[in-house]
Structure formats: C-alpha cells, structure tokens
Amino acid sequence: MKTYHIRRADLELTRIAYGCMKIGGRWDRDPITADERARAARAVMAAVEQGITLFDHADIYCIGKSEEVFGDILRATPGLRDRILIQSKCGIRFANDPNSGDPHRFDFSYEHIVRSVEGSLKRLQTDRLDILLLHRPDALVEPEEVARAFDDLHHAGKVRFFGVSNHTAWQIALLQKHVAQPLIANQVELSLLHTDLIDDGIVANQQPHGYTASAGTLDYCRAHGILVQAWGPLAGGRLFDSRRQQDERARQTAALVAKMAQAKGTAPEAIALAWLLRHPAGIQPIIRTVEPARIAASCAADALTLSREEWYELFVMARGAPLP
C-alpha cells in the first residue's frame, strides 16, 4: 500500500488506516465474548494483510474494550507490534464518570490526559503509543496544561507523536503556540456526504454564506504539514445501504458511486475512498468495518486514481447544488 510521509515527524503511514472503534463489540461494561474476540482478530488481521500499518483507537471505544481486545491480538501475534503504528485518542468523558451525576464533558486537564494514556497502554499491552490525539475540543482547555502533559508523556517514552481530532485551524494554532512537539494530525469527519471542510473553501466568498467554524481548517493543515485523517469516510454506510439514504442527495450520490464502480470494475467503497485520496491535501481515510471483505474492497482505493472530472462530478452531486 502507498504511504504518506509526515515530514514533521519523519514518519511513514499507509494512505488508509484501520479504525478499531467497532472491534470491542458492545458499548457496555460486559466482558468481551468469544465471538467478539474472534471477529476482532479476523478484522485486524485482514487489515494487516491488506498492508495497513496505522491502527486508530480511542480510550472510550466500547468503553475500553476495543483497546483491550486489540492488546490481546498483539500478545497472540509475536512481532506484530513492531510492524504497525498505534494511535489513540483521549479527552471525552462520559456522564457519571467517575462520580454519579457528573455530566458528559471534554477534559484536556493534565491529570486526565496522563491517566488516559496510562490506561490505554495497559489495555493495549504496549509500552508506547505512536500517536496520541486530543479527541474533541475542550472549551476549558488551558494549553499550558496540555503542553506539560505532552512533555511528560514524551520524555517518559509513552507517546512518540501528538495531534488533535475535530479541531479547527485556530484551535490547533492556539495549542501549537504552547506545545513543544509538532501537532502532526487532525482527525475530522469527511466523506462524500460530509464535505464541509472542502466546500468551505469553495463558497468562502459567496452570499448568502454564514461563517463556518471549520473555515480554513483544511488549508491550514496543508500549509503546516498536518495529516488530515478522515473519520466516517464511507458516511456510516449511507453510500451503500439504501435503507439509510433518507434524502435525495444521498440517493443520487450513492447511485453515481455505484455507476462509477461498475464502470471501473471495482467496489463502491473504493470509489468513495478514492475521492478522498485524490485530494492533494493527502487525506487518510480511517475505515471501521469489521467485515474482511469490506476491508479488502475499501483498500482497493489505494490502486485507483480518479480524474479531475470524475472527482468534480462526485463533488457536485454530493453537494446537492451546483458550483458557484
């Protein structure tokens, strides 16, 4: 599989990453079942066989069970840890954690960041995270606290590189002003049915067009060598499951994706991901299916290049409106 080179970290990453959100089974505190463990192992090894090297986690996925089952897979597969890169995220806290009545919230405090990483390392059965991302912007963030947490984790060898998720350009700039380590990635929602970051640059000088919080984020990441990771790159299956296509825009986009896939002799998943890979920002889709066949179909995008005309045909259809 082709790779991206992250110059600020001298790091090579495969163009497609595997997201481990679903491999922990259910979002509850019940033990992982034998069937769930077997399904997780099949999915992870299918991703490895496709050449994927970056595996994306978060401390909250399946309430920690996704990291736990992945750690068991690492332990059962000698040498795998040194062949892959592990990324995890922290900062989201559930309601009633740790005390009854606590609200759902975001937490970039020093104590929570460090405690979260230590929990992830324990569940993953590894001594280091290759990348740590701050999951969702904390309105009460104090960048100096984040910087202190990053320094301590980096100096202890527990985290090699750092980044963010769902952050705007100015939120990244504020953190980077205080954090010594380069912020090398920003994981954002991006797909044919969620084109806000791309559309933002197209309609910036058009009226009526209100201010968007994402304004300039994609170009900021490009200008500063920050890898753009796309979560939900297949729109949660809405491009393939007609039962989930609640509007005409989704139905027409799905039909065009299917038409292109048939013409090129490939899977619809490959078309949808190739649309992201065609963008010069160097976008890295994070696929989250646990079905080996769909993992293979998605990875076929790595060998597919859309023309400028095909890219814009999909873009215009997905926008549901003509270009300015």
Q: Which helix (H) or strand (E) holds 152?
A: helix 143-155
- Strand pairing of 159-165 and 129-134? parallel
| SS3 of residue 85 by DSSP | strand
Q: How many C-beta neighbours within 10 Å does residue 39 have? A: 18
To the query of whether residue 61 is one of the catalytic residues in this protein, the response is: yes
Give me the torsion for CA of 226, 84, 120, 25, rounded to 10°.
110
Task: Label residue 243 exposed, middle or buried (CB < 10 Å: 0-12, 13-18, 19+).
Answer: exposed
- Which tokens hold the place of 162? 């750092």
Q: How many C-beta neighbours within 10 Å does residue 30 have? A: 10
- Contact criterion met (CB below 8 Å) for 170 and 215: no
* From 4, 18, 61, 220, active-site residue: 61
Residue 259 Cα to chain centre, angstroms = 27
What's the rounded Cα separation, in Å, for the pair 152 and 136? 21
DSSP 222-250: HHTT-EEEEESTTGGGTTT-GGG--SHHH
Tell me how long the chain is.
324
Going along 153-266, which residue ranges are E strands?
159-165, 183-189, 227-231
Phi, psi of 255 (to 5 degrees): -65, -40
- Which tokens hold the place of 199? 């559309």
Task: Label residue 143 exposed, middle or buried (CB < 10 Å: 0-12, 13-18, 19+).
Answer: middle
Catalytic residues: 61
